[in-house]
Structure formats: C-alpha cells, structure tokens
Amino acid sequence: MDESVRAELTALRDSIDNIDAAVVHMLAERFKCTQRVGRLKADHDLPPADPAREARQIARLRELAVSAKLDPAFAEKLLNFVIAEVIRHHETIART
C-alpha cells in the first residue's frame, strides 16, 4: 500500500475512533438523564413508557437525520434501540 494512502487511512480511522468515543460518552450522559427520569416516574407511579413522546422523538430525529444527510430509517432504528433500553431501565427502577 502506498504510504500516502496508509497515512490517510490512519488519519481517517483516528477520526472514526474519536467519534466513536464521543458517541459512547454522549450515550452515557443520555442514560444518566433517563435514569433520573426513571426514578421520577417510579416515585410518582408513572408508566415506564411514554408512546406519545417516543413518537415525537422519532419524528424529530428523522428530521434531524435528513438535515444531516443521514438515512432517517437508520436513525429511527437507532433511537428505537435506545428507547427500548431506556424503557427496560425504567421498568427495573419501578420494580426496586
């Protein structure tokens, strides 16, 4: 492999690694907030899921994805995965 190609590949992969780290940290922050929501819901006997809010968030994220030139179907799948995990956490908090 040409050295200039190798250098560019390494630089791109370093950027990807940095972005992946930022995504993980942002998800951790998001889950800290949703844990607080789960405790608040449990304290006030609110249901773990909020389908109306989830639908609004999915629509909002799809719009953001379009403006960011990201596949909105992919963004929706990702958010659905995150929402499912949040609901699971809320159900666990409600049982404790």
The reported pLDDT for the residue numbered 59 is 97
The CATH number linked to 67 is 1.20.59.10
The reported pLDDT for the residue numbered 1 is 87
Q: 71 is in which domain, residue-wise?
A: 3-95
Domain count across the chain? 1
pLDDT digits (tens, 9 = 90+) for 13-71: 999 999 999 999 999 999 999 999 999 999 999 999 999 999 999 999 999 999 999 99
The reported pLDDT for the residue numbered 80 is 97
Taking residues 73-87, report their average pLDDT.
97
Q: How far apart are CA 94 and CA 32, in angstroms?
A: 16
Stated pTM of the model: 0.88
The reported pLDDT for the residue numbered 81 is 97
> What is the amino acid identity at position 17?
D
